[in-house]
Amino acid sequence: MSPLESSILLFVIGSAAGFLNVLAGGGSSLTLPALIFLGLDASVANGTNRVAILVQNLSAVHSFKRENYHDSKLSLKLAFLTLPGAIAGAVAAVKISNETFETILGIVMIGVTISLLIPLPKQENASSNVKLKTIPMYLSMFAIGFYGAFIQVGVGFLLMAALHYLMKLDLVRVNMHKVFIVLIFTIPALILFILTDNVNWPMAISLSLGNAFGAWWSAKVSVRKGEKFIKMILIIAVLIMALKLLKVF
């Protein structure tokens, strides 16, 4: 495949992944195999994908802000809670077999799907004064930061479940905070990949442009279509990823 064809392919796949990542999650399950298919080692594919994730979430944050959906104070508080875990995840040497990892993640995804089918009691949207100093909140944000920096694939599902159930946020606001949080905890992981020379910059640029394009439109769709649409897409995306990880197909 020529460099031009590779760039076009990565832009298209990146667009789909960016759209899916902002609206639900699991976009990296598209981009990582594509990067490996194009000849990158797994570690380089992982690092290259982080560039696109960073750019994607910059685009999504800006798009949400243009739609008048932003709460920087609360987003920063949540992001800071993930940073210790993200730093640990970025430097961790934890070794786990692919098979074990995929089985555990698949089970988690099924759990997330079931939880999304349970309706929340009606309540007012959380504000920047929400109480974050709870043990479940600290533990979940630490774990999500660690997982997101170390592995990334599927972290959006876990983050959405945590914000939806621990903070009682509607899914539109969950997505608004999610893109900001992922943006912040991606930084230490990306720095590590850059320092260890695990980024293919030409491919990263093509993929990033696609991710940014998809993320921009996904943020707009998230605001305009509302929570019911997001929940439908999220459940479908989680189920497909879970079944794939559990090797059902």
Q: Is 132 exposed, middle or buried (0-12, 13-18, 19+ CB in 10 A)?
A: middle
DSSP per residue, 79-109: HHHHHHHHHHHHH------HHHHHHHHHHHH
C-alpha dist (Å) from residue 19 to 3, 92, 210:
24, 30, 9
pTM: 0.80
Amino acid code (one letter) for 50: R
Convert 77-108 to b/e letters by CB count within 10 Å (16 or more is b).
Answer: bbbebbbebbbbbbeeeeeeeeeeebeebbeb
Q: How far is CA 44 from CA 13, 14, 51, 225, 237, in A?
A: 18, 16, 11, 36, 26
Burial class (CB in 10 A: 0-12, 13-18, 19+), 38: middle
% of the chain exceeding 70 in pLDDT: 83
Evaluate whether 172 touches 109 at the Cβ level (below 8 Å).
no
What is the reported pLDDT for 124? 46
pLDDT in tens, 164-176: 888 888 888 999 9
Residues 99-154: tens digit of each pLDDT: 665 566 567 667 766 766 666 555 444 444 455 657 888 899 999 999 888 778 77
Place of tokens 């992001």: 79
Six token digits for residue 99: 């098979």
Question: In 64-212, at which residue ranges do the beta strands (DSSP E only) sit?
Answer: none
Average pLDDT of the chain is: 83
pLDDT score recorded for residue 94? 42
pLDDT tens, residue by residue, 171-196: 889 999 999 999 999 998 899 889 98
Per-residue pLDDT of 57-96, as tens digits, reads: 999 999 999 998 889 899 999 999 999 999 888 776 345 5
What CA–CA distances, in Å, run from 149 to 94, 145, 161, 240?
Answer: 12, 6, 18, 23
Q: Are 65 and 221 in contact (CB under 8 A)?
A: no
Q: How many CA atoms lie within 13 A of 165 on its CB side?
A: 18
Of the CA atoms within 13 Å of residue 133, those in its CB half-sphere come to 1
For position 219, what pLDDT does the model report? 92
Average pLDDT of the segment spanning 31-43: 86
pLDDT bin (cut points 50, 70, 90) of residue 239 is: confident
